Each structure stands twice: as structure tokens, then as C-alpha cells.
Structure 1
């Protein structure tokens, strides 16, 4: 019985995405690339892009007062959730992930930067 519980716990631990291992402090520095268009934290407001408080794990297109692109609105209606996997893909190449997005940022090239910024965003 104990062996079964240990194996179950081990399997669950291994199933946690690697993105959860990002460094939030380093992610804060990476987020400087995002600040021109996005805000996080207390009092964060929409800019060219929506504020990103609570984005990790949230359904897409849910920030009040922000006018999303038709592409994102359609993806949201289709059930897109900003889990770590989808955020990572979007942050790597937004225009490849979502044709028609209004986001003009080319993307983050380094996987560790993506992991770190997602870790940083998880704190809001």
C-alpha cells in the first residue's frame, strides 16, 4: 500500500510542468520587456494590452474593459485557458500561436525567460 502511495506521489510530482520551476525574481526582470503594454500588481490598469493579474490559469479574454482582437475573442469562446503551456507557446511566438492577435511583440526567444516570466506572473 505504501509503495502505491509513493509511486502515485512521485508520478504527480513528475507531472508538474517544468514552467512551475521558473525564477520569479528573474521573471520580474524579463517582464520589463512587457511593461510598455502590460501591467501587474495592485492598481494595475489596462494599457495597449490588458493588465495581467491572475492571468495564469485564467480563461482567455476576461479582463474587464479591454477590447480584445477578434482572434482572441474567438479563441476565448472556444475555451482557451492561459495555462502554463498555452502562455509559454504564446510568449514564444504570439503571431504563430494566434493568427490575428493584436500583440505586436515578436516573442521571447529563451525558454528560461518564458519560464521565469510565467513564474513571476503567478505571483499576481
Structure 2
């Protein structure tokens, strides 16, 4: 019985050590993903900005916002009536093929075909939405 208890204790300690060492790796992986997403966001800068409207609407406040709802921005009827609320899932779908996801959108960008690039971009946008630029 004592040997069994020792095995359980050793297994718990090994599990705790693995969890503790995995935490920094997870943070580093997220930082790498956000950095990659920032590079991908450079493509978006032709029409969008984080904190102000350009040809496309601003991205600050994107998550949880209803599509077509930024005050003063002139959206297509298709976007205004899409009933999309932006979250990771809806953004991933839209970014994969904007004109297929919202037929009639005025966003003419073909989309981000790579799932990894979309994931990186979404990670960047989530992080950017907590930045000082978006808190103004």
C-alpha cells in the first residue's frame, strides 16, 4: 500500500511539473501566434485600421459587435442585415471567403485561405482589442 501511495504521489508531482512547465510555453506560443497575426494584419491595413474607419470599418471593439453596426460607417445592406455577431467562429468563417459568407458585401478582399493564418490573425485582433490604442 505504501508503494502504491508513493506511485500516486510521484505521478501527481510529475503532472504538476509538466503543467507548470507547459504554462510558459503556452504563453510563448500565443505571443508567436499574435506576432504572426500582426504581419497578416498588414494586408488589412489597405482598407482597415484598429482605431478609426477607413474604406472599411475600425477593428477596435470588433469582438461581440454586431456586423454593420459601427455608427457613421456606410455598410452594404448585406452586411447590415447579416445578423452576424463577431466572435472567433464568425470571423473565421467570414475571413475564409467574405463574399460567400455575406453575399452582397462591399468587402472585395478574396479572403484568407489558410486556416493557420486566419487563426493567427484572429489571435492578433483579440490581443489588439485589449491594447491602449483600442481603449481610447
TM over 0.5: yes
Matched ranges for 1:93-108 at <5 A: 93-108=97-112
Question: Is there any run of 5+ residues in structure 2 with no aligned partner, and where?
Answer: 1-29, 130-136
Higher helix share: 2
Matched ranges for 1:76-91 at <5 A: 78=83, 80-91=84-95
Question: Is there any run of 5+ residues in structure 1 with no aligned partner, and where?
Answer: 1-20
CA contact (8 A) 2:69 2:80 kept: no
CA contact (8 A) 1:92 1:108 kept: yes
Considering only CA atoms, is the larger Rg found in Structure 1 or Structure 2?
2
Report the TM-score when normalising by structure 1.
0.74
CA contact (8 A) 1:108 1:114 kept: yes
**Per-residue CA distance 1:18-65 (angstroms, 9 max, x = gap):** xxx68111100000110010001xxx2111100110212222122122
- Matched residues in 1 for 2:49 and 2:92: separation? 18
- Runs of 4+ deviating beyond 3 Å: none
**Per-residue CA distance 1:63-118 (angstroms, 9 max, x = gap):** 1221100101111xx4x201111100110100110100000100001101100111
